[in-house]
Structure 1
């Protein structure tokens, strides 16, 4: 029994559609290769899947550009001119849009206002007023954030200063408490007098009783 005739219509199931495309793509490329070899034909094949994937085959003795040029020569059409005209139209649209934007920017800074009527001037004034409000809100928000940052820095600096002041007071108190246990002595070093604190304990003998005077002490 032969295979049943398949109805040619779009396959709704995405997976089945992709599988069918893959199989038939391989088949049509195989046929194109056979035409090239068996009949010495020039074949160019371009395929795009529904997922926008690109596939092509071209006979080894030519390339796609030559085939398109040959097609234009035989049919008397110029595909590039049509494409160029389309690009030129798109370019002109973009050029006009760019000119309108430039004019709008000039009008926002007070230039080229003579071309506007009363209604357009009122609309421009309203737009500028709304833009000014947004700018002021953004500026106020930025200033507030900067002030908060500076306040944090000031609080941190004051905290550090207070800590340093407390540490200095503690050191000063410690020095004052132990200052009574020290006596100073004048020592000659390299011909220059220098004052050194000497801690004298009650159990230490008096240096004067041992016969040492301040003039007898020297640094080696």
Structure 2
């Protein structure tokens, strides 16, 4: 059965369009290679897909530049002058931008101010004040963060110190009353740690609530 003729128009479906482009590009490059081998021809094909992806074929015996140079010589058309002029224009624009940025940097360092009028000086002053405010705000945030960190470390140190004191109290209580001479089951006695000449002692006292009336 013969294949139906395809109507030549833009394929609206993106997926179908990409598939068709890929298949026909492969076929075109294959024909170009056959033409190069069979006829010793110099062939160059440059293609851009709808997604701006570059594909090219060039005969193995020549480079793209050599082929363009040969075309330029044969057709007497200058292919590079317009490209060169565009590059010169772009280079000039980049130099102007670079010079402007360098001038702004010098002005922000307090240099090259003689050419500025009053309005420009006022604008520069406002920009510098805004920049200083941003820097100062950032500095204060950093300082605040450092203070919060030190406070947290201090609180942790106090908690550790309290735990160590409690452990020391329990240890000393056991050492001072190893035989359980003080019976405090009813909670009538209070205790405290006393230090004398570097030595700690545990004292048991009768609380006021248990004193005789």
TM-score by length of 1: 0.69
For 1:27, the equivalent position in structure 2 comes to: 27
Q: Distance in 1 between matches of 2:6 and 2:141?
A: 73
CA shift in 2, pair 1:122/1:150, >3 Å = same
Name the structure 2 match of 1:13. Answer: 13
Matched pairs, number: 178
Shift of 1:76: 3.2
2:173 corresponds in structure 1 to 173
**Distance verdict in 2 for CA 1:176–1:160, change over 3 Å:** same
Aligned counterpart, 1:100? 100
| 1:46 aligned residue | 46
Deviates more, 1:63-72 or 1:111-120: 63-72
State the Cα distance separating 1:80 from its structure 2 match: 4.0
SS in 2 for 1:42: coil
**The residue matched to 1:136 in structure 2 has which SS?**
helix
Q: Deviations over 1:95-149 (max 9, x none)?
A: 2112211211221222211111111111111112222222222222221111111
The Cα of 1:5 is off from its aligned counterpart by 7.6
CA drift of 1:39 comes to 3.6
CA distance in 1, matches of 2:175, 2:3: 115
1:120 to 1:21, Cα distance in 2 relative to 1, 3 A: same
User: How far is 1:51 from its partner?
Assistant: 2.4
Q: Which runs of 5+ in 2 are unaligned?
A: 180-213
CA distance in 2 between counterparts of 1:32 and 1:159 reads: 83
The match for 1:158 is 158
Does residue 145 of structure 1 match 2:145? yes
Shift, 1:178, TM fit:
3.9
**Larger Rg over CA atoms:** 1
TM-score (norm 2): 0.71
Deviation per CA, 1:63-104: give whole Å up to 9, x if none.
333212211222334444443332232222122112211211
Q: Cα gap change, 1:61/1:126 in structure 2, threshold over 3 Å: closer, same or farther?
A: closer
